[in-house]
Structure 1
Amino acid sequence: MGLDCGASLIKYVLFIFNLICAIGGIALMVVGGIALKKIGDVKEVFEDGNHPGIFPAFIIAIGALVFVIAFFGCCGAIRESQCLLNLYSLCLLCLVVLQVVLAIFVFVYNEDVQRGALKGWDKIWSGRQQGPLNDQAINQIQRALQCCGSTTFLDYGVTLPSSCCDPEASSCNQLVAYKTGCRPQIKYVVQNSAQWIAYLSIIMALVELVGVIFGCCLSSNIRNSSRYE
């Protein structure tokens, strides 16, 4: 099937574009995995059914779909398959919509997730003298997030738990303790993870929209060239 110069250029641009999209899909999976790990570090502060891990899990799934669809886009461009290109453009357009919806949800519910996490932390912190489970959760969070106390290490007074310091420290005291409190650190982790997910989703959606346009253009050129043969 012969394509004119412009269509041939679109073909190779689309192939290179999909290689970039495949890398972007891997980046989405990596960011989603990191966000899932960070949120998992403070899972104790979330009530059952309110864990926000669904958002990074969703972004991992989208990243995998982007990678697979980009592969089909590469095949469609190289083979000049109108069927594959139409399917590629349709799937990519659906992904664009999903990623925009995900970004909107993350922006809308970010404050609610932060409030829920801080409320859960306050509940654990206020009950730290009531049983070993709360102390265990606090120590786990302090080690994972490298924080100490609720708002500052001074919340403990003079005697600090070992989780307030680097594991390699010979002794834990106010001089070597983590200076950031866990309450602001939890807020930062949730907010930072949400921003990474939302902004990367929007960037990838915009990039993929360009791919939809190129895919439709190449498919149209293939269809037109087949008519004149």
Structure 2
Amino acid sequence: MCCSGFLKMMMFIFNGGIFLAGAAILGVGIWVKVDSGSLLGVLDSVEGAPSELSQLANISYMLIGVGAVLVVIGFLGCCGAIRESRCMLLTFFSIVLILFIIEVAGAVVLLVFQGLADQLLQGLEDGIRKDLTEKYGENEGVTSLWDTTMDQLKCCGGKNYTDFDQSPYFNQNQVYPDTCCNATIPEGQCNENRASAIMVDGCIDKIVQLLEDNAVIVAAVALGITALEIAAMVVSMVLYKNIGNKG
């Protein structure tokens, strides 16, 4: 009896962690989806972008899907343990096992193609220059999206300020966006001399840096969730066997 109670408590703790992690990922996915000025909008708007990179624009759906699955797993595990339902425990184990196999396969792919994201982003340079040259300052949606992105990341264009040369904005005003001068001068006075002297980093480099800076956090969260899944699978099978022995 004591052993059964301990197993239930451990299942509740493990699956509570999985449930909370899923809810957090689900929330992030929904936030990315509803954030119309997000960085992913820029990637999706660039014409001629690599087909692989365009899939990054759907990352919100992936986060929502993963989060929803983790929430369901956490619910099944907790309810299965509390109600001592062998059916729910077996369903829980099967889903977690499939998810675990997918995670291992995904980790192998990431290790094999470790530099793929950087290469794809760097390959956007020509597409971004074309997009800015043709639309920035004329297309309200593209202009607003780039202004938001450059302001949030403190960057300028894809590579640097020269991406705005011959753009409708530059042709009309003969200046570059204020972010290309790091907002260190009065508004509307970011000319070529000042932009070249300050040389604000391009957004591609900023995106790559952002991915690298958060890679450790993502890996730590993934490892934590995986550890919870393994522990929950072991405990669920022990509890499943004990419930069967009672019958």
Same fold (TM over 0.5): yes
> What secondary structure, in the 3-state scheme, does the structure 1 residue paired with 2:155 have?
coil
Of 213, 216, 219, 2:237 maps to 216
CA distance in 2, matches of 1:15, 1:86: 16
CA distance in 1, matches of 2:219, 2:60: 10
Residue 15, structure 1, aligned to residue 50, structure 2? no
> What secondary structure, in the 3-state scheme, does the structure 2 residue paired with 1:179 have?
coil
1:68 to partner: Cα distance: 0.8
Q: Map of 1:117-196 to 2, 5 A cutoff?
A: 117-125=121-129, 128-129=132-133, 131-132=134-135, 137=142, 140-141=145-146, 143-144=148-149, 145-152=153-160, 159-162=175-178, 164=180, 171-172=187-188, 173=190, 174=194, 179-191=200-212
Q: Return 5+ residue gaps in structure 1 as ranges.
A: none
> What secondary structure, in the 3-state scheme, does the structure 2 residue paired with 1:52 have?
helix
CA distance in 2, matches of 1:42, 1:147: 15
**180-189 or 44-53: bigger deviation:** 44-53
1:178 to partner: Cα distance: 8.7
**Percentage of pairs with the same residue:** 25
Q: Is the 8 A contact 1:26 1:67 kept in 2?
A: yes
> Which one has more relative contact order, counting CA pairs under 8 Å at least 6 apart?
1
Q: Is the 8 A contact 2:76 2:88 kept in 1?
A: yes
CA distance in 1, matches of 2:113, 2:71: 27
Q: Deviations over 1:135-189 (max 9, x none)?
A: 865773353133114545588799322454789x9614459x8933223113224
Residue 52, structure 1, aligned to residue 73, structure 2? no
Q: Return 5+ residue gaps in structure 2 as ranges.
A: 166-173
Q: Which residue of 1 aligns with 2:3?
A: 6
TM-score normalised by length of structure 1: 0.75
Q: Where in structure 1 do 4 or more consecutive aligned residues deviate above 6 Å?
A: 154-158
TM-score normalised by length of structure 2: 0.70
Q: Is the 8 A contact 1:24 1:204 kept in 2?
A: yes
Q: Is the 8 A contact 1:42 1:186 kept in 2?
A: no
CA distance in 1, matches of 2:11, 2:65: 23
Of 216, 226, 229, 1:205 maps to 226
1:197 to partner: Cα distance: 4.7
Change (3 A) 1:155 1:73: closer
Q: Deviations over 1:6-46 (max 9, x none)?
A: 12111122123212211011122244456774433433347
> What secondary structure, in the 3-state scheme, does the structure 2 residue paired with 1:42 have?
helix
The number of aligned residues is: 220
